[in-house]
Chain A
Amino acid sequence: MLFIAPSHAFAEHGRPHGHGLQRLGLDPARLILVETKNEKQALWAMEEALRSAVPAAIGGTVAKLDLKASQRLQLAAGEAGLPLLLLRPATIEDASAAATRWRVGAAQAARDRFGLIERTRWNVQLERCRNGRPGDWLVEFDHAAYRFSLAAALADPALSRGADAQSKLLRRVG
C-alpha cells in the first residue's frame, strides 16, 4: 500500500500516524509513504506506482487535478486493475474522469452508556458514479472487530430505512 502526497499537504493536515493507522486495522509496516516536493511530482509518482502494478492500493492527495491528468490516472489505474483513492479538499467541484466520487463528512460518534466513544461514524455520500446511482450512508467503524458497517439503528427511522435500502445498491456498485 502506497500513500503519496506533496510535502505541503503533510504539513497542513499532519502525517499519517502509525499507531493511529493500527487502530483502523491497517498494518503500518505495509504502508510506504511518498513525500514529493510539489503536486506535479505527486501525480508522476501515482502514475509510476500504478504502472508498476506492485502495490495493492494507492492513496494520495492533490489539490489541483485537471481533466487530462485525471484521465491519465484513470487509464493507468484501469490497465493495472488497481484502486487509486485520491483525497481532495471538500470545496473542489471540478470535472474529473474518476469512476466514483465520494464525499466523506464527520458525524457524531456512537456512545456507550458512559458517554465514551464506542463506534466512530461518518457521513458518506456517493456523489458521482459510473453505472450506478448516487446516495448517502452513515458508516460506522467497530474498533473491536476492525470492521466498517452501516449504522443500523438510528434515532431517525426515516434515515434508517434509507440506509437499509441503499445497502443493496452499495453491493451492486462495489
Chain B
Amino acid sequence: MKIVVCIKQVPNTDKVRINEATGTLIREGVPSIINPDDMNALEAALALKDQDANVHVAVITMGIPQAEDALREALAMGADEAIHLTDRAFAGSDTWATATVLAAALRKIGDYDLVICGRQAIDGDTAQVGPELAEFLGLPQITYVRELSVENNRVRAKRAVETGYFEMEAPLPALLTVIKDLNKPRMMDIRLIYKAYSDQADYKFWTAQDIGVDLTQIGVSNSPIPPVIFETWIFPPRSFSIKAPISRFT
C-alpha cells in the first residue's frame, strides 16, 4: 500500500513574540516546525507501516527551499520518501493554487492508495487544502478523522463533530484529514536523522514543469485569495492605580 502524507512547514506560533513598540507580531527568527495536525497525519501513516512492512510512506510538501528541514524531519521519523515541490511559480499561492499543485504532483505519483492530510495549518487556519485536493483528484474524503483503520482495500474512520462522531467508510484510494485526537506523533530516531541527510535518503525536488501543472491556476496572480497581512494589535494592560508601573516583562 502506498500512502502519501501532505505536510506544511509553518512558523511555530507558540514562539512568536510581540514588538512592544508597535504591538505587532515579530515574524523574524521564529523557528519553523511541521504543522501539528500534519504530524498526526504522518504518525497515522507510520502506524500503518508498523503493522505492515510493505506499506510505503511518501511525504510531500509545497514549500520554499527551507521546507527541506520539515521533510528531513519526516524521514527521520520513518517516512520512506520525500518529495519537495518548489518553484518560483508557486509563490504566493492560496489554498486553491496549493491544492492544484499538490493534485498535479499526486497525479504524477499515480499509484497511491491513501492520501492523509492534517486538518488545518496553524498559520492559515483555513482547513481547505485537504478537501480541495480530494475534489481535484476525484477522491472520496473523510475529514476530522479521530480514529481510523484500513482493511480489504477500504478505510473506516470516525469523523469528529461537535457532539460526537460519524462512522464512515470509503473505498481506496481515498483522502483523509486528521485531527490531533487521532494519535500521539512519534519522536525522531537519531539513526534515521543521519540516514535522512545521507545519499541513501529518497529525496526528490519537483518543479512546476516536472509535475505538468497548469500555470494559469497557480501562484499569487492566480490565487482568488491574495495573501493578506493581518496586523495584530495588542493593547498593554493599563493599571488605574497611581503607583503601579507597567512592567515590560508581562
Task: Report whether chain A binds chain B.
Answer: no
B residues with a Cβ closer than 8 A to A are none
